[in-house]
Every structure is written in structure tokens, then in C-alpha cells.
Amino acid sequence: MYAILDIETTGGKYNEEGITEIAIYKYDGHKVVDQFISLINPEKPIQPFVVNLTGINNKMLRNAPKFYEVAKRIVEITTDCIIVAHNASFDYRILRTEFDRLGFDFERKSLCTVELSQKLIPDQKSYSLGKLVRSLGIAISDRHRATGDAQATVKLFKLLLSKDAEKNILKETVRLDTKKKVDDKLLKLIENVPSTTGVYYMHREDGTIIYIGKSKNIKKRVTQHFTNDNRKSKNIQEEVASVTYEITGSELLALLKENEEIKLNRPKYNRSLKRTKFDQALYQFTDTNGYINLKVNKVDRNKSSITTFTNRQQAKSLMYRWTEEYNLCLKLMGLDKGKENCFNHTIKQCSGACIQNEPIEDYNKRVQEFISDHSFKNKDMIVIDRGRDIDEQSVILIEDGEFKGIGFFNLNHQINNINILRSIITPMGHNPNAQHIIQSYVRQHKKLKVVALDKNKIESKE
């Protein structure tokens, strides 16, 4: 299955571009079976030369969805597909960059129709999409728009498949989709691990842990380690003698256990995971007019933050979302640098805190509500997620704003006492990475059950 796509961007510095339009056609080798087409608000200006080239301007994108709003659909339509694009390295890089900004590892195999055309249709004067398809008699409309270019790429790819007499494209596709041969030792190790969510440990013959990882499908992830051919994977394949695991049911618990146990065990091949998982944080301050302002800055260990972010782009996307959700002011969120009122006030989506038109108490009340929803400070709470079995749930305990540990309880057992909670919890260390993991997971999983603790009683706060 192929996901044939085209992306239009804002232009600008390398890896700072934003997507303005995307078109994806899911193609089974015979026909298009699904499609996704959308303009996207890149949350940054479009370069003038790009406006002239594509006809897409900032005004057109004002009400378009932001990338985080369409990200799930993009993941769904490209799952189990090979990305196909004209100059695929560009489109794939842009997609991966956008997902990286959201803290999501987007990884797909890819094929480039430029490279395929050079092999299968040699001696063309040009391999730019427009000139190439016209020379092949393929009609193209809306050039430099995602839909037109993606449709032309579908037709081009269909032609390339028919010209591929030796079936190299299909062989390559099968090669990419099929697991590589695994030697007998590694096959036996794979057989012993489950296809469930949890943490896995790779050991040398003397029992030393050389790698710790987490996955929603342990068997699939271990298989990837044993079939990848990068240097680290090859070293692991040579040294590993056994694989053990611990089922958590909850991905959040797996993330927390992985974070804790890498710090405790310091495995040889986990060096890259020992660093901090975030570098941006959200801070508050009160301006001279008495309004509470929120601002994203580099992490300062000497200051107390509300929440943290993997990177600045992720922070910016969330800040725009929170501005809408809590009816906050773009200017007081650090998202509008204008001297007068913010843009949202112009379109009547801001009540005027930016120009002191809204009562301070009214505005600050909403800010405090936001802070309460997203900060751990002084909080006593639990987070309840799925357990290891159908009649079990997992629990994460936070007391006085600090992460205390994880545990499991039976669905028939009502947790209504802090002492009972403490008794079922496996203690874990509170640290910035653990707090970041929990806050990030909770905001990504809106249906997660969060329960406030008050004087040994629990009040639901879903």
C-alpha cells in the first residue's frame, strides 16, 4: 500500500518551514482507496515568492486547521504505507519535522518518483514534475498546489509501475515490508516476548542489562532491534543473550518505568535516552497592569514552571490551542508582538486584556483556571489508566506536586484512602523528566481519568 502525497510549505530556513497545504492519496497499486486533502495554518508567515508560486496566502489560511488538528488523520492514512512523492526526501523531511514539533516520532518507508523516473524513463530533458508529466502526456492542473501535484504523482507512479518490467519497485516494496532474516538465537528470544505494552530488558550472558526500552507492542519492537542494520542494533544483536520484560498495560507507566530504570541501571546502549527530554517551559508573571502573563522560555532550573515542552514549536502549537480553549489574549500569551491590541481582539475573539479593556479579575480567573489544569504545584492527585488485565487498572500517585510512584488495583476494589494508595504504589523518584512525561501524556490523552485527592477522599475531576 502506498501513500502518494504532495506538500506545499511557507518556504524559509531549513527545518523552519511550515506546511500550508497537504494532499495524500492512498493507493493500493491499482486504484486510490482513500484520500486526505487540506489547507493548513502554519502559524507563521508565507514567503512572498511562495505566495506568487502557489497562490496560497496568509489570509486563505487564517481559519484553516493547524497541523496538530490534522496530525491524527495523517498518521491513520499513512499507517502501513510506503510514502511516495516527487522528491520524497523533501516531503518526508517536512512531515517528520512537523511531527517532531509535536513530540511524535513519525517514521515511514519512502520511494521517490524522481529517482524511479531516472531509472525507468532515462534521457528526459527534465525530471521536474511539471515538465516530466507533460512530456509523458499526463495532464496536470493546479500546478504547485498539493492536490494537482499529488494527482499527477499518482498518475506518474501508476505509469512507473507499468514500465517496471523487472518489478524492482514491487521487489523493493516487499523487501521494505518483509522482516529481514533473523538468526536462530534471535528468533528464539523473540518467541518468548509478548505483543503487549510494557518495558523490555536486553541482557548479556552474565545478566548485565545492555538496553532498556518501552513499547506498546514489545514483540514488534524487539523484532525491529533484531532486524535493523544500524551500528547500535548490530552491536545489540551480537551481545544479547536474553530478553526479559514487564507488562504495564499502560503506555504511561511504561514511559515512567523506562525513564526510572535507565537512570538506575545506566545500560550501555541507552546513552541517548539519558539526556533531558525537554528544553522549553511555560512560566507566569504579572505585568505592570496587574494581568497574569504566560511565556515560553528555555528551561531555567531556578524557576518554577507550569509545564514543559519537548521543543519550542510544540510549545507554540499548544499555546495557540490553549488561547482558544481558555479565551486568553494572544498578547499576554506572548504570541502577538504588536504594540496595540492583539489580532484576536480585532476579530472579537479576545475580550481586550491586551488594551486593559477587560477587568483584571475576570481575565486572571481564566488564567488561574488554566494554570490549575496544567500545573502539578501543590496538587494531590492520581492518574488512572488501563491495567495489565481486563479487570485491572493502573494508577500514578502525585502528592504535593511530586510524582510518588505507580501501582495497579482491581476494578472491584474502591480506592478511597490515601494510605491504601500508598500501600499499592511502587515508589519512584520525582524528577523533571518524570513530570514532563506525565504532563505530556495527560494533555495528549484527553479521556484519561484524573482524580483529585482531598483529606483521604477522592473527588472525580475527569
Q: pLDDT of 346-398, one tens digit each? A: 888 898 999 999 999 999 999 999 998 888 888 888 899 988 888 888 999 99
Domain of residue 142, residue span:
2-176
Q: How many domains are contained in the chain?
A: 4
Pick the last residue of a domain from 250, 274, 298.
Answer: 274
Q: What mean pLDDT is reported for the chain?
A: 85
Torsion angle of alpha carbons 164, 169, 172, 174, nearest 10°?
-100
Q: Are residues 106 and 144 in the same domain?
A: yes
pTM for the predicted model, two decimal places: 0.58
Domain co-membership, 262 together with 369: no
Same domain? 126 vs 247:
no
**Same-domain check for residues 402 and 429:** yes
Distance CA 151, CA 311 (A): 34
Q: Are residues 171 and 300 in the same domain?
A: no
| pLDDT value of residue 174 | 46
Same domain, 137 and 34: yes
Confidence of residue 1 (pLDDT cuts 50, 70, 90): confident
Let me know if 228 is exposed, middle or buried by CB neighbors in 10 A (0-12, 13-18, 19+). middle
Domain boundary pick from 374, 409, 443: 374
Q: What is the mean pLDDT of residues 229-236?
A: 86
Q: Are residues 6 and 134 in the same domain?
A: yes
In the chain, the largest separation of any two C-alpha atoms, in whole Å, equals 78
Per-residue pLDDT tens over the stretch 278-318: 788 999 999 999 999 999 999 887 888 899 998 888 899 89
Of the three residues 274, 296, 322, the one that is the final residue of a domain is: 274
Contact 10, 22 (CB under 8 A): no
Same domain for 118 and 78, yes or no, is yes
In the predicted structure, residue 180 carries a pLDDT above the cut 50 = no
Same structural domain, 363 and 394? no
Mean pLDDT of 134-161: 84
CA distances from 137 to 44, 112, 116 (A): 38, 20, 18
Residues 370, 260: Cα–Cα separation, whole Å: 29
Residue 185 has pLDDT above 50, yes or no: yes
Cα 62–chain centre separation:
23
User: Which runs of consecutive H residues, i.e. helices, occur in 329-387?
Assistant: 343-346, 360-374
- 160-187: average pLDDT: 61
Clarify whether residues 19 and 93 are in a common domain.
yes
Q: Are 347 and 327 in contact (CB under 8 A)?
A: no
C-alpha cell at 69: 488538528
Q: Do 147 and 23 touch, CB atoms closer than 8 A?
A: yes
Looking at the structure, tell me whether residues 149 and 29 fall in a common domain: yes
**Residue 430 Cα distances to 65, 160, 227, 266, 438, angstroms:** 37, 56, 35, 18, 11
What is the percentage of the chain residues whose pLDDT exceeds 90?
27
The answer to whether the CB of 282 falls within 8 A of the CB of 295 is yes
Same domain, residue pair 227 and 342? no
Specify the pLDDT at position 164: 67
Query: 291 with 364: CB under 8 angstroms?
Result: yes
**CATH number of the domain within which 52 lies:** 3.30.420.10
**Per-residue pLDDT, 447:** 81
* pLDDT value of residue 5: 92
Distance (Å, whole) CA 61 – CA 71: 17
